Structure 1
């Protein structure tokens, strides 16, 4: 048989291809110290090729590598894309992964509605990554505690089911879940921080200072919970957690438990994250073993969270996403409060049952459908999201109240529907790289508050808001970045005719108020510069404005006029001026910021004859924040932060008064020592200090007005530890109030109310077993 030249070429090509296909590559995955990383996933083109063994090694077929690239991912490490310049089967390819917590360039979504490096953003940003969240949730799964312990400028936790007094830089904060607003600024129920379980969260982004980028209610800044993401390559994973909490010194009735199960996976173009958790908090006791007072407490409370996020990649550039999250947290108290005397004896819990309905959050439900396309025109990215949020907040039952006649219990009802359309288009002005982010926000927010017996406490407020915006970013010089933007708020709040709630028998004290439309129109501006050439000095300066129709419900419920037109319902326009910097010198990270926040109108809640009334005077809030961490050794890291804020309101006669404790938190200092002796063990000891503050004089009867009480220093020490038996099994231990301090939380001190003079929890331990597959 005669072989032609063409046949010879074909045979040679087949032979070479067969050899290449048979090539096996050896991969070793390790950290920066050369230690092997077990169970790292190696994939290419969305197909999982292998996972590393206990020596960090794996073998993959060269023929399955697409375009010469592999993606390497591992828990607690930043994902790494490795490109082969040539394929060498004789030597082991070593790939080093960077610790997630050590990444130089954090990616932030919240600040500008697009992915941005934190070094390009001219404002203060705090990012809590998965390691930060895990260390804190080992101690407590209460997100109010997690944030209060870590975020400079945010008030410490209240040790309650509410986040009363947890302002950010002295002003209200807007809480989001993947951009969906959770807060109820029309009538602040102060339950918006605890709206999702920590196990459903990938990271938390906190943008500090006034911003209108997400609309109404962000005078102090934004807290955005970024939910867990699905894997980028074909796989199926799960995480199971079972645990218990208890007071190890006074353990009777204190044993709680926690169950959590989450799955995530990807198959071809479809990916998902889904799961749920159940968390039961048993009786809480103080350092001496007494049951805590039950006023807005967490004793005997259940927390349920059901989460699902589905994604379908239509093409490499187009995808749709569906998110659903249900959250419930209610108290089923077996104790009732025995009221103490403010400044003398604490309010404690005694066996009994409240006659009212279970207080807390009966439900908070979020649903969002989003569409993304990153090559619309001229590399323009389009993101469209339609969402709804339905929120119910049940306040505790009271036998008598100054605000209405007789006993009662109120519930805040809030239903939001919205659409967000966001474009980002990159282009150039001459040789200057430029991009513009622009779009439109549509929001309908219906909020009201009534008593469970049917009486209307706050009438239905039906707000429609249309807000176009645009944000420009220019690299005006090398490493000098300018950002400036504008947003136009066009809102109308519709209120029907209503009667204020009676304060006496037979309708006494009730006033008829003629309803109508309340229009709001305002143009918000922001501008900032950041110079990011040098790691050792990365300064910024910025000006930004925020818009808030804040506490409108309180104004309506205390109406003393017969028509809405005569009420002072103007919005709060906040101006935020800030200067700061970040520095990285070797293993030292340092950041600092100073800010001034002003508004011509305020909403400080002051005590007038036993009623909390919104004070509409001009306000100025000032403060500063400093954060520092230092990696002494690869296995040893220390750090901490300090924040201080002060605020005053100014009256027409030129006199000034301090803003009270509900707005201004005392100085806060935190510190931590993190020790990781082996890859399997991690221990962190953290300290939280709240300073003293005494700004107000008692009244002639010797009593302080609501939220004007003096504050004494509080020091708390916490412990968090993790140990991994192997790549699948691990255990965690957390101890809150490690020294079993006997103390009053700041909210118990400044509120100056007998019923709320409740001690903090004594030592509380948390032990959890984790299984990952």
Structure 2
């Protein structure tokens, strides 16, 4: 009886509370009268709110009587603030017309939770690089890995090469995606996935840092999601043409290159489209002394192609479909060969004319095809999105004498997948909530043969099913609780194979082949995440989170280096990363400041080291920690500035005693841990916007954690990194509103430096100077 009485009292109090509230609802439209879908509508100073549906409709239930400021923000539209009053028991209709965004960074993110949400609703650190930033930076460099290093704290320094080996995120491997389609090849990580497409077809980049449970294999350190261009217009035909010439400012001989990029896009009723083609050819790249940079993993004398198409169709106000295809290729065609330097004597590796053995290195072809459906289910305000995708990549590497009789390897990977994501909102008297849930299914077939047909890494056939669910609750307008689960069902099938004989390039000793019995590798982890954010005010919004990440360690490296006759005897156990993060955001007028600290642990590591002429995987426990600082400020209407700093450190528990301060415990190598780094940029607009200036700074500080060996040399990947400073600049002059001419200068003070990778690798073949001062002159025309 007491229980019944308590229940009645609860219902009565809830009814009284409900009676003190009202409702806000309305429709969001674009300037041309079309529905504005997936726009975040939140109360200022809180994380409470909702997201408009595909018809542009939204509703906010159980709003206490009073006057509020509603903020409507989206990736596609300019942020809009509106004052609205709510009366008890009444419904307030608020319809808004939004202005299309011209490319400025804003606060809506999709990758962190797989549905649109504002950064203020996410209890972890996320970085977004917007369209305008990308377009400005293409006038300096078309290497997306170099562009991102300046704007993403926590991302290790760019290698300046076609390979992004060592460019980790918070000291761990990261998952690269294009429109959510995985590009990375974690089964045999070739480290060429950051350059998966040309930056001209990227609309924005979202970087989610730290292990994430809502995505699958490969996201131990986080993820980078490239979102491709879409039509944002009410015109049927729009055109963007870009023509550029590039070259060295130190030694102009044979350094000239060219680039042409053409984009067509439009919107006609229910149909929208975007079509793009990009071709770029680079000349000889020169270092600060004017010497030709060596060709191994180089970007000099490289032909790059990108073909992109996207077609969208709206069946009605509640359902739409979108098909996307992208092809990217970037291969080197050079008449130079590498001349090894001497790391111990500080003599750089250079190049000389000659015909390289093997075939041109680089991305022979990366194909991405995706068909995407989105809309409303008609049940409980639930929205859905579903997609089917295909991705294949052929990455060709350089000629190596480590193979008997020499050879060139390639990573071949094909993925087929399907995903279903549902989102259902719930409303309570004191909280809003929504649940995102669904299923990912993927088949990944990856191998690493030699170009001549010899098998180095046999095909690994992975089938992965992963149901997941994630909920977000907003209490009392300010407190946000987020948590979720993901169950991985992974099976990797490997047929019987024979290891490839290898040769130690120093001693000449040949390791004979071994017959290895194949089999199936099974993984069934359950990973989860939970986070809390308290938006006390604009001045202070702290957050804390815990998340797990699952990754199958580089199985291919273990298989190709097998010393036993059965894969069941090879340590191929998966890595589970526990990531802890705490931080806060402060907003004071036009200043936004964020500070984040983190620790990630794994009881089983996957650190690749070079030992006796071959890569091996060390499976000792690991602990990585660090912090990031980021500040952005709109000084005046014409002047914007940003600065960031990142520090990361990590050690392996070699004696597995649960501590990291023993004599046998070692720091993780430079291949995993990037040197501390500063990034900064200043944007200044004058002459009523006709002239724009961009100045960038990247500062690499020193890292020295390892002792020399008895012979006076360092182990590979353990060399010290010395500090250096780089400055880039760009000037944009608008001849007319539709035509501009731009001049970008990379390494404008011609800093003479070795890249971090060439320093910590501590090998003669990799001891390469960074790129010297160079220019890029571009003409942009819009119609």
After superposition, the Cα gap between the structure-2 partners of 1:632 and 1:502, relative to the gap in structure 1 and judged at 3 Å, is same
Unaligned runs of 5+ in 2: 1-29, 37-55, 58-71, 84-96
- 3-state DSSP class of the match of 2:145? helix
Return the offset for 1:42.
Answer: 5.0
**Secondary structure at 2:347 match in 1:** coil
Asked if 1:659 corresponds to 2:674, the answer is: no
Cα 1:733–1:516 shift into 2, 3 Å: same
CA separation of 1:653 and 1:286: change in aligned 2, threshold 3 A? same
Deviations, residues 614-666 of structure 1 (Å, cap 9, x unaligned): 11000000000001122222212222100000000002364311000110000
Match of 1:490 in 2: 489
Query: Measured at CA, do residues 426 and 82 of structure 1 come closer, stay the same or move farther in structure 2, by a change above 3 Å?
Result: closer
Aligned to 1:536: 539
Paired with 2:76 and 2:462, the residues of 1 have a C-alpha distance of 43
In the TM superposition, what whole-angstrom CA distance separates every residue of 1:386-430 from its partner, at most 9, and x where no partner exists?
0010011100112x11xx322111000000000001100111345
1:588 counterpart = 2:577: no
How do 1:630-709 and structure 2 match up within 5 A?
630-652=633-655, 654=657, 655=662, 656-677=665-686, 678-709=688-719
1:512 aligns to what?
515
Residues 426-465 of structure 1 aligned to structure 2 (within 5 Å)? 426-465=425-464
Tell me, in whole angstroms, the C-alpha distance in 2 between the residues paired with 1:79 and 1:309.
26
Cα contact 1:46–1:233 (8 A) shared by 2: no
2:77 and 2:98 in contact (8 A); partners too: no
- Which blocks of at least 5 consecutive residues in structure 1 are unaligned? 1-40, 48-65, 84-94
Shift of 1:353: 1.7
TM-superposed CA distance for 1:690, in Å, is 0.7
Matched with 1:394 is 396
Native 8 Å contact 1:736 1:765 kept in 2: yes
Please show how residues 35-54 of structure 1 align to structure 2 within 5 Å: 42-45=31-34
Query: 1:198-597 to 2 correspondence within 5 Å?
Result: 198-231=199-232, 233-343=234-344, 344-398=346-400, 400-401=401-402, 404-503=403-502, 509-597=512-600
Residues 46, 234 of structure 1: 8 Å contact kept: no
SS at match of 1:240: strand
Deviations 1:520-542 (A, max 9, x none): 01000100011224111121100
Q: Is the 8 A contact 1:286 1:292 kept in 2?
A: yes
Farther off after superposition, 503-512 or 148-157? 503-512
Q: Within 2, Cα distance between the matches of 1:750 and 1:300?
A: 26
- Do the aligned partners of 1:122 and 1:540 also contact (CA within 8 Å) in 2? yes
Could you tell me which residue of structure 2 aligns to residue 168 of structure 1?
169
User: Contact conserved, 1:376 with 1:382, CA < 8 A, in 2?
Assistant: no
Q: Distance in 1 between matches of 2:698 and 2:135?
A: 17
Is the alpha carbon distance of 1:75 and 1:709 closer, same or farther for their aligned partners in structure 2, counting shifts above 3 Å? Answer: closer
TM, length-normalised to structure 2 = 0.86
Tell me the residue number matched to 1:748: 758
| Contact 2:726–2:751 (8 Å) recurs in 1 | yes
* Contact map agreement 1:45 1:233 (CA 8 A) in 2: no
Match of 1:718 in 2: 728
What CA RMSD, in Å, does the superposition of the two structures yield over aligned residues? Answer: 2.4
* Cα separation, partners in 2 of 1:120 and 1:73, compared to 1, 3 Å: closer
C-alpha deviation, 1:148, in angstroms: 1.4
Q: How many residues align?
A: 696
Partner-residue secondary structure (3-state), 2:120: helix
Assess if the C-alpha contact under 8 Å between 2:219 and 2:550 holds in 1.
yes
8 Å Cα contact 2:703-2:722 kept in structure 1: yes
* Structure 1 CA distance for aligned equivalents of residues 593 and 164 of structure 2: 29
Aligned mates of 1:250, 1:314 — CA distance in 2? 57
Tell which deviates more after alignment, 680-689 or 541-550.
680-689
Seen in structure 2, the aligned counterparts of structure 1 residues 438 and 741 have a Cα distance that, compared at 3 Å, is same
Displacement of 1:434 in angstroms is 1.2
Q: Compared with structure 1, are the counterparts of its residues 326 and 581 closer, same or farther at alpha carbon in structure 2 (3 Å cutoff)? A: same
- Note the C-alpha offset of 1:481: 0.7
SS of equivalent to 1:535:
coil
